[in-house]
């Protein structure tokens, strides 16, 4: 029996959920990708042994869910090995993939290695839209094939589609496709505005009217399939249309642990964009990172809060919202998430909503997530960061 | 469904779920795509006997042998558990 239970800091949860971003390499170029804008600066990836050691340590600390993501995790040749090791450690293993280049042989090998679940992400319902949105021509046919094979091999089928301004009006077709593929779970998640999605926000944020219509459509399908199909339709509204922020990650450093390709440990997958140092699993044990590092303790508890959060009676519900969103929109990660109507920065959100009501809300064209754009953005981003830090010091 | 007919049912775990013991939190859990249910002791004890072969009546017998101090309410508790796990939570299917 392990005994990490003895000297735990008060009130810190276990890292039940481990997200392993195996690589930033990816054949697609989704404009809403949550990878950091400057992902191309750092091409280091943990070795097979380093990943397995990471899994072992996290499992010992209570991690039970393991997501293999990226980039495109299929580009790791050792994925079979990683799955096998994780499964033997007792993880429930989730593969989060675009399905590009996934062959039947490989899916069978994953099955033998003990993979529990494959989530295939779609961009939209028809080939044209899909290719347009992912910047790749062949992707749609391949994905359909993969989704059918997932089902054939007896995996739970989780159909994921990021919903945004350009595909939200086709939500009926998207749902029909997911039902035709006999999906067990259908995640219709509106894009969250981090990383590339924030850059492309004006292209992606649906209008209120679009959103209301899409929710009504989803409800109509829920009624239609009631009693006939076990498919669960999950529609995630963008927080931009809420008056209170979401309880981000169930609290900072409380449940989620993300490891980036180079081994940096993060409390959530977009925390890399914060001006905070996060430790690497190659330099410190996960136990020490989780319980003792400055990065993971930074926003634990309520002591870091400013007004209006500090004296707010709802702070235990939402922890002041998302730290990354607060930082990206206000320049200070300790501010209230501007999604909150009590935030003095809430106008940033309502302005974006008003903008989304325009017929042509966006200037210029979408910026696709690829190496060229990443290199360009890394340069401008370095320049952007300096004034943002000055704001915080004032 | 009458109580007698439910007793002859053979429960099996819905293929979307995996049932296992978690050594670090000392309890059973149900794992499913990107999610987890942390089970209380009695749910854990009942599910341990679900193997797709034994009927609910046989599972009750096994539990009575395992917990001789339990009184007759055990029978109703197990029936209630399976009814809810089947109809509402969809953890359990009947073969
Ligand atoms: S969101 Fe798209 S571009 Fe980003 S990692 Fe996933 S598939 Fe690749
Ligand atoms: S003021 Fe802060 S704590 Fe209160 S509801 Fe808004 S974000 Fe949450």
Greater confidence (A247 vs A118) lies with: A118
Cα A115 to Cα A86: distance, rounded to the nearest angstrom: 9
Tokens 């009504």 identify what position? A216
Task: Give me A123's structure tokens.
Answer: 């961009």
- Mean pLDDT check: name the lowest of A216-230, A324-338, A370-384: A370-384
Residue A259 has pLDDT above 60, yes or no: yes
**Mean per-residue pLDDT over chain B, rounded:** 91
Please report whether residue A380 resides in a domain. Answer: no
- Asked if A119's CB is within 8 angstroms of B24's CB, the reply is no
Residue B13's DSSP bridge partners are: B92
Burial class of residue A182 (count of CB atoms within 10 Å of its CB; 0-12, 13-18, 19+): middle
Q: What was the pLDDT predicted at A25?
A: 92
CB atoms within 10 A of CB A284: 14
CATH of the domain at A96: 3.20.20.70
Please state at what angle helix A48-60 crosses helix A79-88, rounded to 10 degrees: 20
Q: What confidence tier does B4 reach under pLDDT thresholds 50, 70, 90?
A: low
Per CB-CB distance under 8 Å, the chain B contacts of A60 are 24
- pLDDT tens for A147-173 read 889 989 988 889 999 999 988 998 998
Query: In this structure, are residues A43 and A374 in contact, taking their beta carbons and an 8 Å threshold?
Result: no
Across the A:B interface, residue pairs with CB atoms under 8 Å apart total 47
Q: Is A65 on the interface with B (CB under 8 A)?
A: yes
> Which uninterrupted H or E stretch holds A21?
strand A17-23
Token readout for A58 is: 């996290």
Q: Which residues pair with B32 in a beta bridge?
A: B35
Q: How far apart are CA A106 and CA A117, in angstroms?
A: 14
Q: Is residue A394 part of a domain?
A: no
* pTM given for the model: 0.87
Total domains present in chain A: 1
A30-34, A38-42, A221-225, A342-346: the lowest-pLDDT one: A38-42
A interface test, pick of B19, B33, B37, B92 with most A CB neighbours within 10 Å: B33
CATH of the domain at B82: 3.90.930
Give the Cα-Cα-Cα angle A127, A129, A130 (nearest 5 degrees).
60
pLDDT at A211: 94
Does the Cβ of A174 fall within 6 Å of ligand 2?
A: no
CB atoms within 10 A of CB B84: 13
- At A11 the three-state DSSP class reads coil
**Domain-located, residue A348:** yes
Task: Find the mean pLDDT for residues A4-32.
Answer: 78
Structural domain span for residue A136: 14-373
Once rounded to an integer, what is the mean pLDDT over residues B38-61?
A: 94
Q: Is residue B92 a part of any domain in this protein?
A: no
Domain-located, residue B45 = yes
Most trustworthy range by pLDDT among A99-103, A355-359, B39-43: B39-43
For residue A131, being part of any structural domain is answered with yes
Number of domains chain B contains: 1
Phi, psi of A138 (to 5 degrees): -85, -10
ipTM over 0.90? The verdict is no
Q: What is the largest CA-CA distance in chain B?
A: 40
Is residue A140 very low, low, confident or very high in pLDDT (cuts 50, 70, 90)?
confident
> In angstroms, what is the C-alpha Rg of chain A?
21
């Amino acid at each position: 029996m392990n005994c990490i239970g003895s000297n735990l800091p008060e009130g810190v949860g276990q890292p039940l959920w481990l997200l392993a971003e195996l690589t930033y390499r990816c054949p697609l170029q989704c404009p809403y990708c949550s990878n950091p804008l400057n992902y191309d600066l750092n091409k280091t990836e943990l070795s097979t042994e380093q990943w397995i050691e990471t899994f072992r340590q996290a499992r010992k600390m209570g991690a039970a869910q393991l997501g293999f993501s990226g980039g495109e995790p299929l580009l790791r040749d050792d994925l079979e090995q990683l799955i096998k090791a994780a499964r033997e450690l007792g993880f429930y293993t989730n593969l989060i993939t675009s399905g590009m280049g996934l062959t039947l042989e490989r899916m069978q090998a994953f099955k033998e290695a003990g993979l529990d679940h494959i989530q295939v992400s779609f961009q939209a319902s028809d080939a044209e839209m899909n290719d347009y949105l992912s910047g790749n021509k062949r992707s749609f046919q391949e994905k359909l094939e993969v989704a059918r094979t997932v089902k054939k091999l007896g995996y739970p089928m989780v159909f994921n589609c990021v919903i945004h301004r350009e595909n939200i009006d086709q939500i009926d077709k998207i749902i029909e496709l997911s039902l035709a593929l006999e999906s067990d779970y259908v995640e219709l998640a509106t894009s969250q505005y981090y990383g590339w999605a924030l850059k492309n926000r004006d292209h992606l944020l649906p209008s209120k009217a679009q959103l209301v219509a899409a929710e009504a459509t989803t409800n109509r399908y829920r009624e239609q399939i009631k009693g006939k199909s076990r498919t669960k339709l999950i529609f995630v509204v963008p927080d931009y249309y809420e008056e209170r922020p979401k309880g981000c990650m169930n609290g900072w450093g409380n449940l989620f642990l993300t490891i980036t390709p180079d081994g940096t440990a993060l409390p959530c997958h977009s925390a890399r964009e914060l001006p905070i140092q996060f430790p690497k699993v190659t330099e410190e044990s996960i136990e020490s990172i989780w319980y003792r590092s400055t990065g993971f303790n930074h926003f634990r508890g309520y002591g870091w809060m400013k007004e209006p959060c500090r004296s707010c009676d709802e702070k235990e519900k939402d922890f002041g919202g998302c730290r990354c969103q607060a930082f990206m929109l206000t320049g200070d990660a300790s501010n209230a998430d501007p999604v909150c109507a009590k935030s003095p920065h809430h106008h940033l959100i309502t302005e974006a909503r008003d903008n989304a009501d325009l017929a042509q809300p966006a200037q210029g064209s979408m910026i696709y997530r690829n190496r060229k754009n990443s290199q360009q953005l890394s340069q401008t981003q370095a320049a952007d960061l300096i004034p943002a830090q000055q704001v915080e010091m004032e | 469904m009458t109580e007698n007919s439910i007793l002859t049912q053979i429960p099996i775990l819905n293929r979307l779920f995996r049932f296992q013991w978690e050594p670090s939190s000392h309890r059973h859990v149900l794992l499913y795509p990107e999610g987890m249910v942390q089970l209380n002791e009695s749910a854990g004890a009942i599910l341990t006997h679900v193997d797709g072969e034994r009927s609910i009546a046989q599972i009750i017998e096994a539990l009575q042998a395992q917990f001789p101090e339990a009184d007759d309410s055990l029978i109703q508790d197990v029936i209630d558990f399976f009814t809810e796990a089947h109809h509402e939570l969809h953890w359990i299917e009947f073969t």
